[in-house]
Amino acid sequence: MDVIQISDLRGRPRAPRPEEVNLNFSEKAVRELEQLLNHYPDKKSAILPCLWIAQREYGGYLPSEAIAEVALRLDRSYAEIEGVATFYTMYHVGHPTGKHLIEVCTCLSCHLCGAYRLADHIKSKLGIDWGETTPDGMFTIEEVECLDACDRAPVLQISDQYYGPVDDKTVDAILEKLKSETSPSTVRLADEIVQAQLHKRDQEKVSGN
């Protein structure tokens, strides 16, 4: 968990004024948000899906500009959006993740089937620890709670895909395959979640028919 740093006590930054916030959502994202807002009685309710759109638009994580943009688009305060985004672990606030997010389940079944050993193998192979990203920006590894696939323990989730049961060899093969895949699967995951929120007729409206 992030612990805030007292870097400089004087001359502290102030939150950006609304006019200083760059709006970076693509046209498609704006149309998607419009459709999503129809689902809810007020804009506050759309915070979670809108954060997913932002996570997709900003490349798989939420920099502070993304939070500011969501806040502005939903007429909420920055702090409130940041509070929501930092509460949920699937939003990655502040730090960019790798293109592929390896989530290792370490709950009971997976633990018994060697999840930590498996994780150690991945960590030593990629040279990173929990929550870190490889220098080439390809992989981030995270420890997660039960993925609800105990029958396939030990199980990994790499962005939108489950792999299990896996052992060192199969993991090596998976990582090898992913290395050649340059389009970030974290963005794909965010997009899938956004699409899942939209009804069919919404999607039609977004695509302009």
Partner 1 sequence: MAAAANEPQSVILTINDIEIEVPRGELIVESVKRIGLEIPIFCYHSRMKPVGMCRMCLVDVGFKQPDGSVRMMPKPQAGCTLPADNNMVVYTDTEKVRRDRKGVLEFLLINHPLDCPICDRGGECPLQNNTIFYGPSTTRYVEIKRHLPKAFPLSKYVTLDLERCIQCGRCVRFTEEISGDSQLAFRFRGAMMQPSTFELTDFESRFSGNVIEICPVGALTSAEYRFRARPWDLQTKPSICLECSNGCNTWFDYRVASLVRINGRTNEAVNEEWTCDKGKFGQNYLNSPDRLTEVFVRDGDKLIESNWATAFQQVSVAFQSAGSKCAALVGGKASNEDIFMLKRLFTEAFGSNNLDHRWTRCLPKSDALYRVATSIADFENEPVIFVFGNNIAEEQPILFLRIRKAWFRNDAKVIVACPEACEADTFAHTSLRYRPGTEAVLLGAIHRAATGAGGVDIAEASSITGVGEEAIRRAADAMKSGFALAASRSLLDLRNGEHVVGALSNLTIACNSSEKYNLFATSANEEGARQIEFMPSAEGKNTREILEACASGEMKALWLLECDPLSLSHDNELVTKALETVEFLVVQNHIKSECVQFASVLLPACAFSEKDGTYTNLERRVQRIKPIIAAKGSAKPAWKSFGELLLRMKGDPPPFHAHEVMQLIAASHQKFQSAIYENLEGEGVVIPANQSTEPQAVDVEYTAMEVPSNTP
- Which positions touch partner 1 (CB under 8 A)? 1-6, 9, 12-15, 64, 67-68, 76-80, 82-83, 86-87
78 versus 139: smaller Cβ distance to partner 1: 78
Residue closest to 103 by CA, chosen among 168, 180, 186, 194: 186
Residue closest to 91 by CA, chosen among 99, 82, 79: 82
Distance between CA atoms of residues 132 and 56, nearest Å = 20
Q: How far is CA 134 from CA 3, 150, 187, in A?
A: 22, 28, 17
In the complex, what is the shortest distance from the CB of residue 65 to partner 1, in angstroms, rounded to a whole number? 11
143 versus 192: smaller Cβ distance to partner 1: 143
CB contact at 8 A, 24 and 32: no
Dig out the tokens for 190 from the structure. 């965010």
Residue type, 192: E
127: left (phi over 0), alpha (psi -120 to 50) or beta: left
71 versus 178: smaller Cβ distance to partner 1: 71
21 versus 113: smaller Cβ distance to partner 1: 21
DSSP helix/strand/coil, 147? coil
In the complex, what is the shortest distance from the CB of residue 10 to partner 1, in angstroms, rounded to a whole number? 8
Q: How far is CA 166 from CA 10, 71, 153, 173, 187, in A?
A: 51, 41, 8, 10, 24
In the complex, what is the shortest distance from the CB of residue 100 to partner 1, in angstroms, rounded to a whole number? 25
68 versus 115: smaller Cβ distance to partner 1: 68
13 versus 208: smaller Cβ distance to partner 1: 13
Start-to-end CA distance of the chain, whole Å, equals 45
In the complex, what is the shortest distance from the CB of residue 24 to partner 1, in angstroms, rounded to a whole number? 18
In the complex, what is the shortest distance from the CB of residue 63 to partner 1, in angstroms, rounded to a whole number? 10
In the complex, what is the shortest distance from the CB of residue 191 to partner 1, in angstroms, rounded to a whole number? 26
Residue type, 156: L
